[in-house]
Chain A
């Protein structure tokens, strides 16, 4: 196997992730292929910035998706007939681990992992023909209009209405926390079409172009001072009838199908592996005078502990994805993954910030400009780490909060209902 080099700092990388347990010669060759492709597809400067904790820009994502799609690799998990790669489960794991390891822009989940599978599973032929190609080519950016101001954890209480007007539905209401809505071309959303005895009933799913008249997008600035979240308002928006996904009133079922995919999709174990490496890198940057972290028992124990946690998570993910007989059930698996991974991602970001010592006090463009380097690290290494720490507090909130995941797990084991 050729030596793996840490693209950021030229040091040999010791990243031995769970994938190494699985590799045979064919997979090794496959991995070399993927790695070479990814490094050629994304400029090193972009990869370094992403590795340091900054979000990729829309144009960086678009460039990358164009290259991925030319290679036919945008949606490996899709059935081949819809444009998937036909890879084995193991190849897909190798692929996604390489995405994170090489810090290429993340493939936006909204099209590929969320609405795409809903459409090829439940959509009409016309919907498949209209929407799937734009997702595969990376041309269409999607956003997810589920949450509302009054309906977060209690999503089923949503109040956005779509009234049947014969040749169209008339949409009125508001969504919130809609990631990337400010640059999305299309949205998939949940709206109430009918009154039903259970609040989950009467909800339908729609797909819609973002430039439809009556849609207004307002930015929400987050605690990291960046803009990725939005409010989306609908005022008498005419949704063509063929924007209804699947059957009217079945939106909740499709949403559950989709959220299950979301929760598995956000384990981010590849990024966690990189974070372990970054923590080691940071430990030898000597940011705190007089302290050698490579000899600091407390630091090393923290690092060893989170690494052990991460290893357990990686193996759990393999057990789930390989659909082995003794894996967690389809009901509990996503919640187990999401809880463990939120904990690990947040612990890693926290350890990194703690290791920044005093430099954790500064932040922003002025801070980056005031320093050429901090120790032997570029100053945006520090700023990016704070960025990731701040925004990373949301990992335990989106896609179902930690509390909601715990409720799901407890429900699976207990007969008694609260």
Chain B
């Protein structure tokens, strides 16, 4: 598929977008607040629409669709600021397990939820420090994982060891696995994991290059999904802000009449378009099995900058109302902080890209000599 073809959604992809938009539009801000970090009902509705299996093979009950459909779905999720771990479970874990031919039926039908741990950016932070040592009763896992997107409903963990050398699939009930729950800045559920004692031998589902390739598939899909989620979040934050400026008056006219604020709105729109472009690019670049890092680092950097600038300016444009928990805008602002942290923030993404650029320059220097 060329990029131009990618820009025109197929009928199937278009149907996902329409269904996702319609479904998400029916979820109110109050619904999201009420549900805390996880609404079982919403998770089942997503299952009924086949979305947890969007990326999975049809023989595992999946839809067998690709990153472009995923991107549209994640934009709708961002717009509704849903706290469920869709990207963690249904994108990263399903994507990784599918790449290994593992059974994902329970994840796809919504009866199970998985959490990736130690995958590194951009889905759960830095590289894993977990090491696995083979012993008589299975592998001993060392160290802790500080941030893992999981809550009390998470049924299994996909744990990557240092350097992506091994991938363990651990049920929640695994002896020696301790899970400490805490909350994210945007209200979703996070946990800290620690391991003590051997895990069963059959928990190790991949090693070496196979493990690394599967993890890379998961994180590649994550960039695309997170970029889309952030784009949907930015889009909604922009809409809320423009609506507020039209509605609120000071000095006898709508705030929207003040030129300096109109210019700030123009800048929001520029940021939004940059995000949309990067979300498109991210999805396109994730469409085959290659490693699109050279593009994805730029996607992360640009989307994080847009997230930062739109989030902050949207609050500013709301004045005091922007500082309240009551207004939705603050919740979108915090979701954007969460998404930036997951993507390594602009600084981290630029650092990654700069490392590659430095290597390019060095290589060119060698060629020139």
Contact = CB atoms under 8 A, between A and B. Distances in A.
Nearest to A389: B337
A407 B245 CA distance: 18
A364 interface: yes
A216 B183 CA distance: 33
A32 to B, nearest CB: 39
Contacts of B102: none
B192 A371 contact: yes
A331 B4 CA distance: 57
| Chain A residues touching B, range | 35 or more
B356 interface: no
Interface in B330-346: 330, 333-334, 337-338, 340-342, 344-346
B40 to A, nearest CB: 21
Contact of A290 (B126, B308, B312): B126
Contacts of A367: 182-183, 190
Given A370-B181, A370-B182, A357 B126 contact: yes
A190 B192 CA distance: 51
B10 interface: no
Given A299-B347, A357-B348, A397-B320, A152 B250 contact: yes
Contacts of B207: none
A390 B325 CA distance: 11
B359 interface: no
B319 interface: yes
Contact of A361 (B180, B258, B341): B341
A406 B147 CA distance: 42
A225 B146 CA distance: 23
Interface string B303-331: 00000100010011001101111100010
A229 B357 CA distance: 48
A144 to B, nearest CB: 13
A358 B344 CA distance: 7
B129 interface: yes
A276 B344 CA distance: 22
Contacts of B316: 393, 396-397, 401-402
B184 interface: yes
Given A289-B129, A397-B323, A153 B250 contact: yes
Contact of B315 (A355, A369, A393): A393
Nearest to A375: B146
Contacts of B250: 151-154, 157
Contacts of B249: 150
B185 A222 contact: no
Contacts of A398: 320
A298 B183 contact: no
A237 to B, nearest CB: 23
Interface string A344-367: 001000100111111111111011
A353 B337 contact: yes
A362 B185 contact: yes
A109 to B, nearest CB: 17
Q: In the complex, which of the residues A291, A296, A362 has the most CB atoms of chain B within 10 Å of its own CB atom?
A: A362
Contact of B320 (A147, A288, A366): A147
Interface string B257-273: 01011000000000000
A254 interface: no
Contacts of B251: 153-154, 157
B334 to A, nearest CB: 7
B323 A296 contact: no
A298 B330 CA distance: 29
Nearest to B345: A354
B71 to A, nearest CB: 22
A223 B319 contact: no
B354 interface: yes
A221 B326 contact: yes
Contacts of B182: 362, 364, 366-367, 369-370
B351 interface: yes
B340 A360 contact: yes
B146 A403 contact: no
A221 B146 contact: no
Contacts of A353: 337
A222 B325 contact: yes
B185 A296 contact: no
A93 B19 CA distance: 62
B334 A362 contact: no
A362 B184 CA distance: 4
Interface string B62-93: 00000000000000000000000000000000
Contacts of B337: 353, 360-361, 386
Contacts of A322: none
Nearest to B342: A361
Given A357-B341, A371-B192, A289 B126 contact: yes
B147 A359 contact: yes
A55 interface: no
Contacts of B210: none
Contacts of A360: 185, 337, 340-341, 345
Contacts of B338: 361
A358 B319 contact: no
B50 interface: no
Contacts of A370: 180-182, 191-192
Contacts of B333: 223, 393
A361 B185 contact: yes
Interface string A80-106: 000000000000000000000000000
The 8 closest A-B pairs by CB, nearest first: A358-B125, A366-B182, A223-B330, A361-B341, A363-B185, A154-B250, A289-B126, A221-B325
Interface of B: 124-127, 129, 146-147, 180-185, 190-192, 249-252, 258, 260-261, 308, 312, 315-316, 319-320, 322-326, 330, 333-334, 337-338, 340-342, 344-348, 350-351, 354
Given A220-B326, A296-B351, A391-B323, 9 more contacts: A157-B250, A229-B323, A289-B127, A354-B346, A360-B345, A371-B146, A393-B333, A396-B316, A401-B316
9 contacts: A157-B251, A223-B325, A296-B351, A298-B351, A346-B312, A360-B345, A362-B183, A390-B334, A403-B261
Interface of A: 147, 150-154, 157, 176-177, 220-223, 225, 229, 288-291, 296, 298-299, 346, 350, 353-364, 366-367, 369-371, 374, 386, 390-391, 393-394, 396-398, 401-403, 406
